[in-house]
Amino acid sequence: MEIRKGDMHILIVDDEESIRITFEMFLKREGYGNIYTAASLEEALALINETQFDLIISDIVLEGATGTELLKYIKQTGVKCPVVMVTGFPNLDSAAEAVRLGAFDYISKPVNKETLLRFVRQAMKHWCLEREKTKLQRENEKFRRYLEVIFGSVSDAIITVNRKMEIIQLNSTARKWIGKGGGDRVLHLDDLPGELGKACFQDAARAVEKSEMVKEHLVECYKEDGSPRIISLHAAPLQDSIEEFAGAVIVARDITYGPPESRKKRVSFHGFTGSSDLMQKVYDLIENVGRVDTAVLVTGESGTGKELAAAALHAESDRRERSLVKVDCAAMAEDILESELFGHAKGSFTGADRDRAGRLMQADRSTLFLDEIGDISPRMQLRLLRFLQEKTFTPVGRDTPRRVDVRIIAATNVDLKKKVEAGNFREDLYYRLKVVEIELPPLRQRRLDIPQLVHHFLTLFREQIGKNIVNVSDQAMKFLMNYRWPGNVRELRHVIERACVFADSSSLLTEHFPVEIVTAGEGSRDYPEIGAIDSKKMKEPPVQPARSFVSEEATIREALQATGGNKSKAAKLLGMDRSTLYRKMKRYQLPF
Ligand SMILES: Nc1ncnc2c1ncn2[C@@H]1O[C@H](COP(=O)(O)OP(=O)(O)OP(=O)(O)O)[C@@H](O)[C@H]1O
């Protein structure tokens, strides 16, 4: 840590003016800057209190005082600065005392220019080294404190031992695991109790004796309360700064997979709302399966959130940077679906006036969501099976196959297994699609989610519609909780939207809900007070005559009539997806 001569602050203390002037001149000519002089001890102390000096040159005999008093003052006050004493005659005792009191060196009078400059150079060299040392010590201390904080705050247990397996350090987690107060008394790794202690000793011994790393050594042990715990141990040899072997460090991580109830419940997940146990399982499954590049079949009644699940699976996967591509298989006739999926060459059929890449191509390196997969024709089933087996497809009207990297997520609300059994769906395709199945539970099986969903949609529509609706009356909420919800969350969403449109106060009241919801609740078992719902005690309510199902065909007919056959408008009016409307029209054999 070099100091430039011109930047230095040097104090000359001498009661003889001629010496002060001579020394100052010698130093200034040599390029040293900021030279201060003091004629007495008092003057010197006053200057020392004001200025941080890099060097003090002081006569050992001052008028009415001594240079050693100056040294004592410097020592007592902790001022850091080398002091060179000038002795009038070579008195070894006073010189020795000066050095004992912390003087850097002493010069005997008479002092010529060369001697003075030589001493100044040496003192400066020493001062620079001192400053460098202090800086390094400060940095080391800072670093040590950081490490201490990290060491103490990590959830892993960390133990360091020396070559003799004596414990050098334990962090707070390690102390906790070892047991109450045990950490203070444990001095040797051999003293650690139980299976964990034994394993730590073995791994540390391997690290120390063979200088080997131990990775992911799994140990099954028990917590103080008797519950099982799985620990993953790592041990590594420790070497000090001169590469000498110093011992080992052991890091132990608790990887026990806690039972689901011990983990925090999620109230929402990728667009889903609901904290019921059934939905927690769905969230966990999506999270785990999302990352694996496998085909997934999402099942569940209409409106349970199958499309949301597909989007969540895509969002959890490494393909998330590219857009999810969706194909609604029920909404299209076979030929159209074929060219939609696989693409076509210009002129391959009437109306094919240009090349079309198709959704599979579009979904390359992404995910293709095939909604209503149960509705595809046998020919499409075969084409899809080939694609899943070979990862290649040939666009309509072309000869050369194309290879793409597409993850398939399919969804259905029909019982595909039954379709397979009835010979209406290929078994081989069924198993290809259903590598993993995610079943979304109907809303009536997770009524605990209803209040959360109601408030979720209330917030959404309040903002969209621009009304200040903040609440739902207890009576209305009870009806909502008692209803069977054949259309599941989608139906609930529409019911809340409709209620928000009708509401003219700050609350949604019974009168704002459709009559079938209010009457369906009558006579059925009441659920407990909203705030006191216990999901475990909740069972399915007695099956109601599903009013909305009884009149469904007629309602759809009416809606189609009212919209002049416009299926998009009819679907909107009915509060269902276009694909759902198509499926239902098929089911009731209504003309397309
Ligand atoms: N748990 C949920 N939380 C919030 N919104 C939900 C939830 N489940 C479904 N929804 C909403 O309900 C509507 C229907 O969901 P979605 O389209 O995913 O259902 P689906 O099972 O695919 O229906 P279908 O079988 O009729 O195609 C959407 O508006 C969706 O955002």
Domains, the chain, ordered by start: 5-133 (3.40.50.2300), 154-254 (3.30.450.20), 268-441 (3.40.50.300), 444-550 (1.10.8.60)
Percentage of the chain beyond pLDDT 70 is 88
Neighbouring residues of 368: CB distance < 8 A, sequence distance ≥ 6: 325, 326, 327, 359, 360, 406, 407, 408, 409
Nearest CA, atom 23, ligand 1: 303
What is the whole-number distance in angstroms between the Cα of residue 309 and the centre of ligand 1? Answer: 9
CB distance 299 to ligand 1 below 6 Å: no
* Ligand 1 atom nearest to CA at 371: 27
Any idea which of 32-41, 240-249, 382-391 has the lowest mean pLDDT? 240-249
Residue 260, preceding bond cis, omega within 30 degrees?
no
Per-residue pLDDT averaged across 18-29, rounded? Answer: 94
198-207, 232-241, 490-499, 543-552: which range is least confident on average? 543-552
Asked whether residue 8 carries a pLDDT value surpassing 50, the answer given is yes
Question: What is the per-residue burial (b if ≥16 Cβ within 10 Å, else e) of 39-63?
Answer: bebebbbebbeeeebbbbbbbbbbe
> Which ligand 1 atom sits closest to the C-alpha of 449?
1
What sign does the dihedral 301-306-309-314 (CA atoms) show? positive
Q: What are the pLDDT digits (tens) for 311-328?
A: 999 999 999 999 999 999
Say if ligand 1 is within 6 A of residue 273 CB.
Answer: yes
pLDDT of residue 525: 43
Tell me, what's the pLDDT at 279?
94
Averaged pLDDT, 459-463: 90
Distance (Å, whole) CA 509 – CA 499: 8
Centroid of ligand 1 to alpha carbon of 307 (angstroms): 6
Pocket flag, ligand 1, residue 494 (CB < 6 Å):
no
Q: ipTM of the predicted structure?
A: 0.99
List, in order, residues 6 or more apart from 83 with CB less than 8 Å away.
Answer: 55, 56, 57, 58, 70, 71, 74, 102, 103, 104
The mean-pLDDT minimum among 22-36, 308-322, 554-568 falls in: 554-568
* Atom 29 of ligand 1, nearest CA residue: 490
Q: Which residues pair with 471 in a beta bridge?
A: 507
Q: Over the stretch 401-422, which tens digit does the pLDDT of each residue have?
A: 899 999 999 999 999 999 999 9
Average pLDDT on 214-224 reads 83
Alpha helices of 30-112 — where are they, by DSSP H?
41-50, 67-77, 92-100
- Which atom from ligand 1 is nearest to the alpha carbon of 272? 3
Q: Which residue puts its alpha carbon closest to atom 5 of ligand 1?
A: 272
The dihedral built from the CA positions of residue 67, 69, 70 and 71, taken in this order, carries a sign that is: positive
Of the candidates 151, 152, 150, 158, the one whose C-alpha atom is nearest the C-alpha of residue 254 is 158
Three-class secondary structure of residue 71 per DSSP: helix
Choose one of 283, 490, 584 to mutate for the ligand 1 pocket test, by most ligand atoms within 8 angstroms of C-beta.
490
Residue 201: HSE in the Cβ half-sphere, 13 Å Cα cutoff: 15
Q: In DSSP terms, which residues pair with 382 in a beta bridge?
A: none
Please tell me the predicted confidence (pLDDT) of residue 408.
96
Min mean pLDDT across 172-186, 248-262, 456-470, 500-514 is at 172-186
Which residue has its alpha carbon closest to ligand 1 atom 9? 305
Does residue 442 contact residue 543 with C-beta atoms inside 8 Å? no
Residues ≥6 apart with Cβ < 8 Å to 54: 3, 8, 9, 10, 81, 82, 124, 127
pLDDT higher than 80, residue 288: yes
Where does residue 262 rank: exposed (0-12), middle (13-18), buried (19+ CB within 10 A)?
Answer: exposed
